[in-house]
Every structure is written in C-alpha cells, then in structure tokens.
Structure 1
C-alpha cells in the first residue's frame, strides 16, 4: 500500500469502493496499534485521522515508554506489571525510536519516597516489569547521588534510587507503527474527519461519512466493525452514536518546557518532588543538547484540538526546577519551546487529575460501535490486542470467520529491522559507512540512521537520485532526503507535519526550523504542486506553531 501524501485521494477512493472488515477512527498510537494488530491477523483494515497522525495526545507526552513507578503508590499493581513488561517489547521492536534512560530519583527528608520504601518499591517494580538484570535498580547514598547530578538541592538529601526507564520519540513511534500497518495492506489517511456515523435499518453502525479536511471532498466508508479510538474526542463520537452513558472522559492537560543544555547543564535524567508541597513529581530529561521538563496535571475543559502552555503552567515548572536545582536560576526567558497535551482519562468521582487511573477501558454500544478510552502510551500494544480480540470474536460469531490470536509482540515496527536492540550500535556503524559513500558527512549519516533505523536505506536511495537536483542549491541533501521521504513514505502533508511530528525539530531545535523553513516550504510547494493559497495557509500554520511554542496563551 502507498503512504504518500500525494496519493491521499486515491486511498480514500479505494476505501470508499469496498466494505472493510474494520475501520478505525483515530490515528494516534492507539489507532496505529489497532491497525497493525488487525493487519497482522489478516483483517481488511482502514483508518482515518482528522488531523495529522499523532497530532493529538500521541505527540504531546513526556516521551517515555515507562512502567509508571508512581502507580505502585496507588496500588495499580496490574497496570505496572503490564506496562512494565511492554516497555521491553516496544524497545526490542523499535530500538531506533526507543532507548534506555537511566533515571535518578533523589530521596529527601519528608519527600514522596522514603529510602526504605523506594528500595522496596523499585525492587517490586523490577520484579513486576521483568526488568533485565543489567537494568535493575541500585540504591545510592548521598554522595553517590550528588555525583550523578551535582546540581541537585543538597539540603535534606538522603540518597537516591537509580533505575531504567525508556525514552522515545512518541510521534515517530506512532508513525513507525502506522507505516508497518500500511506495509501490511492497511489503508490509512490523515486529515480526514469522521463527521457522522452511518447506520442500517436495525440501527447498527455500518460506516462513516468522512470529509477530507484538505480538499473538502466527502466519502462514505463502510465496514463490518467500527472502532472509535479518537483519544480526547471519543466522547464526541459516542454522543453522535447516542451511547455516551455511564462512564465518560475526564480531560487533563500536561505541559512540558524545553531549556538549552548550556543554560541548564544537567547530564542525568531526574524524577523529582516539587518543593512547593503539592505532592507532585516532575521529570527533567536531557535530550539532543536540550533539557525538557514536565509535566503538569490540571483538569482541561477547552477544545482539545490545540492545548497551550499558559504563563501559570510555565511558571509552575520553572519554580519546580529552581526549587530542586537552586543554582540554575531559570526564568521565563530561558524557555526555548514548549508543548501541551491532553490526556483522555476515564472520570473517577472525587479524584484529582493526578489520582485518576491511567487504565484503559473498552465500551460496547448497542449500535455496535467499539470505543477504547484511557490508557498509556506504553500499553498501546496490549490495548490494541484487547480491541482486536473483541472484533475477531464478533466476526467469528456473525460470519464464522476465524482470525489468529495477537502476534505483535514479535513484529518489528517499520525501521526496526536493525538486528534487535543489542545489534543497533553495530548497524549504525555499518550504515554510517554507506552514508559516507553516498557523500554525507559522518554526523549527517549517523543522525539519519539513528532516526530512521533500517528505513535509512530508502533515504540513501533518495540521496543518490537527488544529488544533482537543483533544489540542493537551497537545501542540503540530507534535509532534502528527509522531506521527500516524509512526503512519499510518511504522508507528511504540510510543513508543520515535517518540522513537528516527522523530525521533532520544532520542539528540540527550533532555531533549525527558523533556518530552513523557507526553503523547505518552497520545495514542498513545488513538489506537491500547491496553489498560492495553500502555500500561504501552510506557511501561516507553521508560523503560528512557532509562535505558540514560545509564547504562553493569554
């Protein structure tokens, strides 16, 4: 199947010309996981996403595939065990977008975690998550803790816990899962909104009215089973279906800020108590010469399409940083970029946003609509398994058609064929040599291999083909290759898709975006044959995102 943004209309027409086994509404990590699981089992599957893939919650997380140590304190033992084990599967199947990150948990007098309880908690965590031997926790004394991070507040410090989490690029993880599903014949299209549900004479849901948000064209797409995996918008679809009864979503907002590493020179990821006494904990994680810090956790009642950092959110995190790292003296001017995301949690009466469970739940409506809500990035594969099990069982009962059980624990995501997590360093070394032969510098080749994994071979092919292209007068060949690859192989339809979700540069290298935005837009406009109005619209969209990444909402 194609996954080119230049062939979106063709894919939509193909979907509209048949009855699918399964249609998924929502192109975040949950929808991508369901599409992959269904395709591996042999279901004829389609997927529509009203924004870009991963544009909602799935590109706005703390970017950790983690087991949720804090959930032990809430006695969410089953959740910790499941997502803890899933971490290793995600890492093994996509080592190019996931990597171990040693995390320091400083222990203070009167803090959330005591020394004994931390030692026991981390040991239980290791056991429940089936942590590999060389990644099991160690306990540190005060001096050892300060050696790991000399910037830490010294007053009241008793020691620390040292354990492994897994850092990921959440948007690229979603894209790679979607690409793998598409390679297995899933038809997936972004910027296509399910504006209405279609029903038969018995009131059973049979399809959707889909509207292409880029062209305005409408399509009727039919399927035997419809899954609502729309994240913060699942209740909107349940309302259309007249099935929003009982449990409902409680949206909470989390924001992260990005600081330059020279201004906040920490080398060690830290998970720390806020010093204001509110009982919350914050991550500070070095990445690509920057440090990102988050997250907040507040109830959110506005439109989830574009959550923003407020001055209050920003100042809360700056106060938390300065409280735990008193020598850095950060101010609002040190924030280079930010992002905000909405968590679609399932409401629990009387609980604060931080206390609400991160467990997922499936709702089955009288019309046959299947809704999946809640959950965590780490658990996306198991969430998908539960949904596709239900779809398979229903199709067996209704049609006598049997599908095999879930097998995605052994399926490498697109780009993940690098010899496994242990073999990735050797793979990088080999492919860098190929990149040098193609005319790249060592740094250019290494960055491409690390980001694209085994798909780097396709980028090298583009580089060989485009070496003499006139566009290289304005764009370096490595950037040109990523733009073409993003359009043709990752359905990047706009400059914002490229700069935010395909590269992450708008978050972690915003100066680079400012440097290359004009030639990238000019190339995309020519390559995709945009009208002048389209080019203006997409340019304005990118400029707005650049402004909002730095400036708080009013």
Structure 2
C-alpha cells in the first residue's frame, strides 16, 4: 500500500474458533465445513461442525434426528421455508427505499441501513422517528447508527442494559475505534426513560460499560487464553434495576405472578 496500515488504523476485529470436524488433513482450510448429527447416548442428539450460515439446516437435521425414535407421527420440518422475522415484504420495501426516505426525512442510505438490520420491521423504527424527529439523528460516537435504534433495542428487542445495546443489539462495540465509549453518554440518556432508570442507575450502567471495555483491553495483553479470560471477567456485573411495587389485592397480584 502507498500508505501502510498500522495498528492504530485497526477499527475492529472479528475472531473466533471454527467448529470443524476432525480429518486427516492438518490444514483447517481443507477440513469440511459440513456438520454431523450423532446420538452419543439414548435421548441425546449432538450436532458437530457446521457454520453459522447453515444453522437452519443444522436445526432441521437435529430435530429430525430427535423425533426419529418417537412413537407419534411428527410432520416433516419446514424450517428452511419459514421466512425469518422481517423477511416478509423486504424486497418491496427495498424497492421503495427512496419513497421511504422522502416520507420520513432521512437519507436513502439511512433507509438502506435500517432495511439491512430490521427488514420489514423497519416500520417500527421509523414510527419512533416520526414521533420524535430527533431520533432520526446519528448517534454520538457511532454516526452509522440512528438514535432511534438505541431506543428500539430497549422498547422492542428486550435490551435491559447499556451493554446489551452497544455490544449485542448493535455492533457499536466492535465497529468503533473506542469500542462504543463515545456513545455511552447519549445512549444511556436515550435508554433511561424507556427502561425507567433513575439517575443512579444511569451512572451504574455507564460505569459498568466503561469497565467492561477496560477489562477487554487488558485481556488482550495477556499471554494465554486462561489469563485473558480472567482479565475479561474483571468487570463486575452491572447492578440490576430493582422494581418496587405497591401492595395490591391478591386477585390483582395473582395474574402478574403467573405472567412472570
């Protein structure tokens, strides 16, 4: 390269282990990416090998193996034909991305980003923007994401902590140079009213996330996996939000307990 890359240019790294089936070749690149289904003991089905992109095929084979010995007739699996959440109507919405952009006051690139993440569920995200136009603005520290996506993570996707949003509902923790630290303040403020956080809980959430990033960075200086894992676990779990309920008559409480 005319401008050589350095460590400082690295924005994010994806790394992991491939669950490959063992073979005669010592080169992992030559081992099969296929999976195998086995019954090591009666009643237990194990899937070995495979890859993320074929998880539905793996699931079908595992279920078929599990029901093979049942006395009852079980219909054939159709999992590979069931559209994923957000798949229905996706192509039509993608074709209408310019219209959606004009209707909601967003750049077409933003609509394409949301479609790639939510598919036809994009209407739920855009509804948040229509209700509060400030949610259509870029998130501080991670401008590839909209502020609405942070709110949506808590209101629709079950996120309960700041870490849930930055590290799991979005890819901010691995797509930004600072691992999402620059988004902590704004993201926490957006989540607070949705999750009913007090000022104290907001501070706990921010402190926990920063300590999590520090622990990850420290783990990457360790010489082996064992010490790296120990360093990574150095960040204590965030103190869970406590809900206080006022006393209610027994009939009113019973359904709630059942739901929990």
TM-score higher than 0.5: yes
Distance 1:510 1:548, change over 3 A: farther
Q: How far off is 1:337 after superposition? A: 2.1
Q: Measure, in 2, the Cα distance between the counterparts of 1:468 and 1:503.
A: 19
Q: By how many angstroms is 1:542 displaced?
A: 4.2
Alignment partner, residue 405 of structure 1: 76
Structure 1 position 418 matched with structure 2 position 89: yes
The answer to whether the Cα contact below 8 Å between 1:459 and 1:482 also exists between their aligned partners in 2 is yes
Distance 1:334 1:363, change over 3 A: same
For each residue in 1:172-222, what CA deviation from the matched residue of structure 2 results, as whole angstroms up to 9, or x when unmatched?
Answer: xxxxxxxxxxxxxxxxxxxxxxxxxxxxxxxxxxxxxxxxxxxxxxxxxxx
Cα drift, residue 405 of structure 1? 1.2
Structure 2 counterparts to residues 106-117 of structure 1, below 5 A? none
Q: What is the distance in 1 between the residues matched to 2:97 and 2:118?
A: 11
Alignment partner, residue 524 of structure 1: 191
Establish whether residue 343 from structure 1 lines up as the match of residue 18 from structure 2.
yes
**Is the 2:97–2:108 contact (alpha carbons within 8 Å) kept by the matching residues of 1?**
no
Alignment correspondent of 1:75: none
Aligned residues of 1:496 and 1:542 also touching (Cα < 8 A): no
Task: Show the counterpart of 2:120.
Answer: 454
Partners of 2:125 and 2:149 within 8 A in 1: yes
In the alignment, which residue of structure 1 is the partner of 2:153? 486
Cα distance in 1 for partners of 2:196, 2:207 equals 13
Secondary structure (helix, strand or coil) at the match of 1:338 reads: coil
Kept in 1, the 8 Å contact 2:33–2:49? The answer is yes
Q: Give the aligned partner of residue 65 of structure 2.
A: 390
Write out aligned runs for 1:59-98 (5 A): none
Query: Secondary structure of 1:357's match?
Result: coil
Separation in 2 of the partners of 1:415 and 1:467?
A: 23
Structure 2 portions without partners, runs of 5+ = 224-260
Task: Decide whether the 8 Å contact of 1:525 with 1:535 is kept in 2.
Answer: no
Structure 1 position 486, deviation (Å):
1.8
The structure with more strand, counted as a fraction of residues:
1
Q: What's the CA shift string for 1:498-553, capped at 9, x where partnerless? A: 334433233334469344222113333453345354553244224545x479x665
Find out whether 1:379 has 2:54 as its counterpart.
yes
Q: Which has the higher contact order (CA 8 A, sep 6+)?
A: 1
Distance 2:177 2:169 in 1: 14
**SS at 1:404's partner residue?**
coil
Among 437, 444, 447, the residue aligned to 2:103: 437
Q: How far does the alpha carbon of each residue in 1:453-472 deviate from its partner, in whole angstroms, 9 at most, with x for none?
A: 21101111222234478xx8
Q: Which residue of 2 aligns with 1:369?
A: 44
* Match of residue 142 from structure 1: none
Deviations 1:38-71 (A, max 9, x none): xxxxxxxxxxxxxxxxxxxxxxxxxxxxxxxxxx
SS where residue 77 of structure 2 aligns? coil
Aligned equivalents of 2:204, 2:167: Cα separation in 1: 22
Q: Relative to structure 1, is the Cα distance of residues 449 and 378 closer, same or farther in structure 2, using a 3 angstrom cutoff?
A: closer
Structure with the higher fraction of residues in helix conformation: 2
Q: Structure 1's 489 and 365: CA in aligned 2 closer, same or farther, altered over 3 A?
A: farther
What's the counterpart of residue 151 of structure 1? Answer: none
Equivalent residues of 2:11, 2:177 under 8 A apart: yes
Please give the alpha-carbon distance, in whole angstroms, between the structure 2 residues aligned to 1:463 and 1:441: 13
Whether the 8 Å CA contact 1:432–1:449 is kept in 2: the answer is no
- Supply the RMSD in Å over aligned alpha carbons: 3.6
1:493 offset after TM fit, Å?
Answer: 3.7
Between the aligned partners of 1:496 and 1:468, the Cα distance in structure 2 is 23
CA contact (8 A) 1:337 1:507 kept: yes
Partner residue, 1:536: 207
Q: Are the structure 2 counterparts of residues 548 and 376 from structure 1 closer, same or farther at C-alpha, using a change threshold of 3 Å?
A: farther
Contact 2:22 2:31 in 1 (8 A): yes
The aligned residue for residue 463 of structure 1 is 129
Q: Secondary structure at the match of 1:416?
A: coil
Q: 1:487: how far off?
A: 2.3
- CA drift of 1:482 comes to 0.8
The aligned length equals 216
- Structure 1: which 5+ runs fail to align? 1-325
> For 1:135-176, what per-residue CA distance to the aligned partner results, in whole angstroms no more than 9, with x for missing partners?
xxxxxxxxxxxxxxxxxxxxxxxxxxxxxxxxxxxxxxxxxx
Report matched runs for 1:77-226 at 5 Å. Answer: none
Give the 4+ runs in structure 1 shifted more than 6 A. none
Give deviations 1:396-435, integer Å, cap 9, x for gaps. Answer: 32xx2x222122333221121235xxxx3x6335244234
Kindly indicate whether the alpha-carbon contact (under 8 Å) linking 1:362 and 1:373 is maintained by their aligned counterparts in 2. yes
Q: How has the CA–CA distance of structure 1 residues 374 and 486 changed in structure 2, closer, same or farther, with 3 Å as cutoff?
A: same
CA distance in 2, matches of 1:403, 1:412: 21
